[in-house]
Amino acid sequence: MRVLLSDVAAVRHAARILAAVPGAELVPVAPEGALPETAGVEVAFITRDLFRGGTRYRLTPRFLRFVELLKATPSLRWVQTFSAGTDMAVYQEMLARGLLLTNAAGASAPAVAQTAVTGLMALARGFPRAAAAQRRHAWEPLYSDPEPRDVEGQHALILGTGPIGQEIGRLCRAFGLRTTGMRRDAAAGAPPGFDAAAGFADLPSLLPRTDWLILACPLTEATRNVIDARALALLPPGRHLVNVARGGVVDEAALLAALTSFHLAGAFLDVFAMEPLPAESPFWDLPNVIVSPHSAAASDGLPERVAAIFADNLARWARGETLRNLAR
């Protein structure tokens, strides 16, 4: 069994991979120089080091070099990626080609959920106001009106009930928030981390009772711009939005209008429709917005968690079993 992967991943994860499938042959790809012979390669492992420094709209030369090699490998049958989402065009092309594609759902859940809830608490506790005062060297205690609202008893509506959404729900409940998870199949009930579950058709009835709208769902045709001007208008004034999903889940023009009018009290935004966020974007300078450069998953433990998913899948592949985290 020949496995194509980056030279960095070959060094970092060789022991784990070979422990899972002792007979595997690793075929490393260097960032430059001659490409390896890929005859007989059935499996490829795309790791974050290939993507580092790029965005979904500005892929790195190293990532593109690796993907082009995959395209030129007719024996390839399965690709494991480091990301939880597989909505990027290159991944959709792999699916259209008939390749099996597995994601790393669950690997980034701890870090992404911690980031989302940190953003929530930073907004709840008035950190943007405190940061603005610090830049002005002004001593402005938050006891003045409006004082921060207690989060206990507030309602968090979380779009997406996968591993990330479930961990966000669990952490929100630890702070005393009530949680509703929005999922495709509401009849399946509330997964771990949620007090209740609802379907996307219930969104208009739930938004008027929402304090925190948290987006943690994949970007699909069903979720693209699901939060539009109408949805934002249904939120009561003074509520907040947290987006650790994809920029395309929100109509950004409508979001900008809701924030500049202060209908939305604030937002924590880790993702945007265009990344990097252009320097001229108004989001940078809004006093009620925390901009994060698509870094919610950043964690020194993430590569090992992704490698563990790949090693488990590789063992399944060797045994002819169904793979985990198959993308569709």
Residues annotated as part of the active site: 246, 275, 294
- Amino acid, res. 18: L
User: Closest by alpha carbon to 48, among 22, 81, 7?
Assistant: 81
CA–CA distance, 135 with 142 (Å, rounded to integer): 16
For residue 108, give every residue at least 6 positions away whose Cβ sits within 8 Å of its Cβ, in sequence order, or none: 83, 84, 164, 296, 297, 299, 302, 305
CA dist., res. 258 & res. 256, Å (int):
5
- CA 88, 94, 97, 98 dihedral sign is negative
The token duo for 104 is 């790393």
User: Phi-psi category of 172—alpha, beta or left, where left has phi over 0 and alpha has psi -120 to 50?
Assistant: alpha
Q: How far apart are CA 27 and CA 16, in angstroms?
A: 15
Angle, CA 270 vertex, CA 267 and CA 276 arms, to 5°: 120
β-pairing, 196-198 vs 178-182, is: parallel
What is the radius of gyration, based on Cα positions, of the chain?
22
Q: How many helices (H) and strands (E) does the chain have?
A: 11, 12
Output phi, psi for 79, to 5 deg.
-125, 130
